[in-house]
Structure 1
Amino acid sequence: ARHLAYVIYTSGSTGTPKGVMVEHGSLVNYLHWSDRSHYEEAGNGSPMLLSFSFDAGVTTLFGPFLAGAKLRLANPIALIHALAALEDGQTYDLIKLTPSHLSLLNKRLEAYKGPAPTRALMVGGEALIPADMQFWQEHFPNVRLINHYGPTEATVGCATFAISDAVGGLASIPIGRPIANTRIYLLDAHGAPVPFGAVGELYIGGAGVARGYLNRPELTAERFIASPFVEGDRLYRSGDLARYLPDGNLEFLGRNDEQVKIRGFRIEPGEIAARLCEHELVGEAV
């Protein structure tokens, strides 16, 4: 369980990408939760619509195998053709996309009159657009809609929210509550829990926390800390800001730095500036 399952690289503000080391135990915990939630009545499995170098694809890559269901491979580079394949009348068990991909899919499905493409739709990787979820509520009211949150360092996803109420008119959709064997804390700049409803930084603990960054001990020590709340547990400092809503669900509120998400990929503007400054004719970059 402590052996390395994979290393996936994410953007780094110093100009050097960070290799996140995820162990088998963390991956098994996530997939066990995911399969219980989405493949218990396995039928048509899932299409793989995301890149193999993007950890969000882990859900629909390994999930069907563990459930004894089908995996349909599509070319994510030719995404529009992959999405067109959903219109063949099959109802998958689970489709997982980023919000950017979902907007494309919704355009393809505007004139679609067939059965729902999937029993469950999971969206994650960047902030979810309520209008795109409203499209599914109106066109496919029986599909389970899931907002999925989690950085690579917490093994694919660490919080989930089932979208059951109408989202029309909402400014944002909650990221929900922790998945199995996961702990989430909202802490202030001094590492103390913030009052209920106040904004704090998301710290993630439990079975999904990665081993650290490959060959980056200083960065690992900075971002992965010993938990002051549970003996032997480690917390990942996400840099994401959130607050608790009155119903106990978490609402994502952005970053405490300049990091942005583009189609699910983490982009550090500082990394781009650092690369520009390597050119002999560039003195400063912003």
Structure 2
Amino acid sequence: QGVTALWLTSSLLNVVAEHAARALSGVRQVWSGGEAVSGATVRRLHEVCPGLTVVDGYGPTETTTFATHHRVPRPYGGGVTVPIGRPMANTRVYVLDGRLRPVAPQVTGELYIAGSGLARGYLHRPGMTAERFVADPFAPVPGARMYRTGDLVRVNAEGDLEYVGRVDQQVKVRGFRIEPGEIEHVL
């Protein structure tokens, strides 16, 4: 169909890279996210599709799809997973400790996101909204809020965010958030 730009969940990108990487040979740019993007997947795609640019896009639904992005360099010599990068336009990110203070580079903290793409909260869930959408003490305008993602990150030596894990037990399965506590409650 002449597709030149594509977005695939990380799970699907892994399968395509392993079993049908050549199917992406005409694509110029592929964005991926939903879970950590595999370094091995990127290396395979760069090998099979020399003209392909891979971009890791990170962003929970509460921040209107993508909040950060990382254009993966060629050749990718990084680790097991690709960094989640830097903020998109009109987005601010903060890596904070438990007292909402910025942490030093390369120190793990919780990721908070603010900016024009931030949702107002959760429909009919004021308690959850108050817990996750908190006052932004760093905002250029008073009254702004930021979203507490629950994701642990650190800023690497290049200035890019790296995903480290979660502050809670939430896991992702094929891009879907799974809260083990909710499953326990139902059982």
Partner residue, 1:207: 116
Which residue, out of 148, 156, 163, partners 1:252? 163
Alpha-carbon offset, residue 115 of structure 1: 7.3
The answer to whether the 8 Å contact 1:187/1:201 transfers is: yes
- 1:108/1:200 Cα in 2 relative to 1: closer, same or farther (>3 Å)? same
RMSD between aligned residues: 1.5
Q: Which residue of 2 aligns with 1:132?
A: 41
1:169 to partner: Cα distance: 6.1
Q: Which digits, 9 at most, give the CA deviation of each residue in 1:68-111, with x for residues without a partner? A: xxxxxxxxxxxxxxxxxxxxxx441211111211122124425x
Aligned to 1:99: 10
1:160 to 69, 75, 78: 69
User: What is the number of residues matched between the two proteins?
Assistant: 185
Which deviations, in whole Å up to 9, do the C-alpha atoms of 1:137-190 show, x marking residues without a partner? 001111111001011111101000000132356222110000000000001001
When you count helix as a share of all residues, which structure comes out higher? Answer: 1
Q: Secondary structure at the match of 1:213?
A: coil
Say if 1:91 and 1:119, in contact at 8 Å, map to a contact too: no
CA contact (8 A) 2:95 2:103 kept: yes
Instruction: Decide which of 58, 65, 74 is 1:149's aligned counterpart.
Output: 58
Provide the rounded CA distance (Å) in 2 between the counterparts of 1:115 and 1:226.
43
Aligned with residue 269 of structure 1, among 164, 171, 180: 180
Residue of structure 1 equivalent to 2:151: 240
CA contact (8 A) 1:131 1:168 kept: no
Aligned mates of 1:192, 1:207 — CA distance in 2 = 22
Contact 1:91 1:115 in 2 (8 A): no
Are 1:195 and 2:104 matched, yes or no?
Answer: yes
Letter in 2 for 1:217: P
Shift of 1:257: 0.6
Paired-residue identity, %: 46
Which residue number corresponds to residue 109 of structure 1? 20
Poorly superposed stretches of 4+, deviation over 3 Å: none
Contact 1:226 1:232 (C-alpha < 8 Å) held by counterparts: yes
Say if 2:67 and 2:91, in contact at 8 Å, map to a contact too: yes
Query: Which residue in 2 is equivalent to 1:27?
Result: none
How far apart in 2 are the matches of 1:121 and 1:181? 22
Deviation (angstroms), 1:226 = 1.3
What's the offset of the Cα at 1:232?
2.9
Report the equivalent of 1:225. 134
2:154 is aligned with what amino acid? R
Which amino acid in the other structure matches residue 224 of structure 1?
F
- The one-letter code sitting in structure 2 at the alignment partner of 1:149 is Y
TM-score when scaled to structure 1?
A: 0.62
- Give 1 or 2: higher strand fraction: 2
Q: TM-score, normalised by structure 2?
A: 0.93
Kindly provide the CA deviation profile for residues 211-253 of structure 1, in whole angstroms up to 9, marking residues without a partner as x: 1001000110111011111123210000000001111111110
Take 2:174 and 2:32, find their aligned partners in 1: how far apart are those partners? 11
